[in-house]
Amino acid sequence: GENVEQHPSTLSVQEGDSAVIKCTYSDSASNYFPWYKQELGKGSQLIIDIRSNVGEKKDQRIAVTLNKTAKHFSLHITETQPEDSAVYFCAASKPGGYNKLIFGAGTRLAVHP
Amino acid sequence: EPEVTQTPSHQVTQMGQEVILRCVPISNHLYFYWYRQILGQKVEFLVSFYNNEISEKSEIFDDQFSVERPDGSNFTLKIRSTKLEDSAMYFCASSDGKGEAFFGQGTRLTVV
């Protein structure tokens, strides 16, 4: 069935370093890949997304890359700050209006000052 | 910025009781979803809703669960007879069908 694997489960970096979180998906029909940030006690906030017709997308310190052949996509955060500390979830969905999201298990990122 | 709102933020209920979780999706969205996140686990899809009917549901969404859009603005999830294992964060989401889903802040359901 549909599945999204996410690694690592925890990631600890020093402020200013880069952080990379990787996901793989099983369903080759998936064409939309969002990343969500979940802070303690809050809902999930979309931080960046990418569609299958694009290989890379960047928004300030955050970038996402997609390799459709390998069914991999990755989140890159540069110049990390303590406020980047949160749980990050990747997800994938297939075409169609219903757009059910299949989530990865999450990565707990800790940025130490 | 438009947002999805959920109430209550936290609900404590006795096992066997019925609960209704409420959501107000973004006003021009047509697709609505409920997801669940058990503590320490991944976010799981429960159900999608479009055109006043369920479009897809997961195996988690058994006969104890139901969804409704009673008045054209609210979108509710009802659990008929809660079990301890229903304790989780429940997230509502809505979408315009083009991909991006907007999530609410969640309702923490605790079944005791």
> What distance in Å separates the CA atoms of residue B93 and residue B36, rounded to the nearest whole number?
11
Higher pLDDT, B71 or B23: B23
Closest CA to A63 of A110, A20, A30, A32: A20
pLDDT of residue B96 exceeding 70 = yes
The 10s digit of each residue's pLDDT in B40-87 is 888 999 999 998 999 999 999 999 999 999 887 899 999 999 999 999
The whole-number pLDDT of residue A90 equals 96
Helix/strand/coil for A106: coil
Nearest to A49 among B55, B97, B100 (CB): B100
pLDDT band at A95 (very low <50, low <70, confident <90, very high): confident
Q: Lay out the sheet containing A62-67: strands in order across.
A: A4-7, A19-25, A72-77, A62-67, A56-59
Chain B residues near residue A100 by CB distance under 8 angstroms = 33, 45, 48, 56
Judge contact between A82 and A17, C-beta under 8 A. no
Residues 68-87 of B with CB under 8 A from A: none
